[in-house]
């Protein structure tokens, strides 16, 4: 049973370039989350979707960041233009969310982003 | 963003020893999850807790949902080298999961 799949695993780019991170959630899951992990700030929630609809994007740092979920099996996180301070590990996670709180979040392996 | 306080920040122990770590918050949570992260990988779910006072085991791991609903504890018994990693707690009270700052565990043979 495939878990959450992220690509690429590593991305090195130059400041000012556009970066697109991709995520395929676990089949059957209806919620998808994008997190960013840094040494200084730990794991931060950027945005999450429920049934492909963005529910809360209050964690998105700036307008340079955008996320889409065109269908239940695919999501992208885009940074345009990228800056060195965007360097971090970006995780996608998915869950099956129903009424009530018995939810388990499953993470992908992450994308290590380095902006030079 | 909001984070939970985890302690200790790091632990260096000998193989065979027991490990205890905890997570505290000023807010009440309805769910506590414990994750382990190894280098180059995403966090992996270890244990999920849904009721105050609940005690749940997963092999050598035991976690408890604090009675006050503001804390949770994770114990690892008889540690082994593959227990090395960063352990995160995560709490949920509405629709968002808030992560702790992590406890880095090193196990020496």
Each residue's pLDDT tens digit, A25-63: 999 999 999 999 998 888 999 999 999 999 999 999 889
Residue A107, pLDDT above cutoff 60: yes
- The residues of chain B scoring below 70 in pLDDT are 1-3
Percent share of chain A, pLDDT over 70: 97
What residues contact residue B23 under an 8 Å CB cut-off, 6+ apart? B4, B5, B6, B32, B71, B72, B73, B74, B89, B91, B100
Question: Does residue A85 sit in helix, strand or coil?
Answer: helix
Q: Please count the CA atoms within 13 angstroms of the CA of B12 that sit on its side-chain side.
A: 0
Q: Given CB atoms, is A12 within the 8 Å cutoff of chain B?
A: no
Which among B35, B42, B92 is the nearest to A110, CB-wise?
Answer: B42
Q: Given CB atoms, is B39 within the 8 Å cutoff of chain A?
A: no
Q: Given CB atoms, is B2 within the 8 Å cutoff of chain A?
A: no
Q: How far is A45 from chain B (nearest CA, A)?
A: 8
Indicate yes or no: CB of B42 within 8 angstroms of CB of A108: yes
pLDDT at B70: 93
Q: Given CB atoms, is B51 within the 8 Å cutoff of chain A?
A: no
Q: Given CB atoms, is A70 within the 8 Å cutoff of chain B?
A: no
Mean per-residue pLDDT of chain A: 93
Dump the DSSP string for chain B.
---BEEE-SEEEEETT--EEEEEE-SS--SEEEEEEE-TTS--EEEEEE-STT-EEEETTEEEEE-TTSSEEEEEE-S--GGG-EEEEEEEESSS-EEEB--EEEEEE-
Residue numbers in B near A33 (CB within 8 A): 97
| Optimal mutation site among B10, B32, B40, B43, interface A, most CBs of chain A within 10 A | B43
Residue A104's pLDDT band (cuts 50, 70, 90): confident
């Amino acid at each position: 049973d495939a878990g959450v799949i992220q690509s690429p695993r590593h991305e090195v780019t130059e400041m000012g370039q556009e970066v697109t991170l991709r995520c395929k959630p676990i089949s059957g899951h209806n919620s998808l989350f994008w997190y960013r992990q840094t040494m200084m700030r730990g794991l931060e929630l950027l945005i999450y979707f429920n049934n492909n609809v963005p529910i809360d994007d209050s964690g998105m740092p700036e307008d340079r960041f955008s996320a889409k979920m065109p269908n239940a099996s695919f999501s992208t996180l885009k940074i345009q233009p990228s800056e060195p301070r965007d360097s971090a590990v970006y995780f996608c996670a998915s869950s099956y969310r129903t009424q009530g709180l018995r939810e388990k979040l499953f993470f992908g392996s992450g994308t290590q982003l380095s902006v030079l | 963003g909001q984070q939970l306080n985890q302690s200790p920040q790091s632990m260096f122990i000998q193989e065979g020893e027991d490990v205890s770590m905890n997570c505290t918050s000023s807010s009440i949570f309805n769910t506590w999850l414990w994750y382990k992260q190894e280098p180059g990988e995403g966090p992996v779910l270890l244990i999920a807790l849904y009721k105050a006072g609940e005690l749940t085991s997963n092999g050598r791991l035991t976690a408890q949902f604090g009675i006050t609903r503001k804390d949770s504890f994770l114990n690892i018994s008889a540690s082994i080298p593959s227990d090395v990693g960063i352990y995160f707690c995560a709490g949920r009270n509405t629709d968002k999961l808030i992560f702790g700052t992590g406890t880095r565990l090193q196990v020496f043979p």
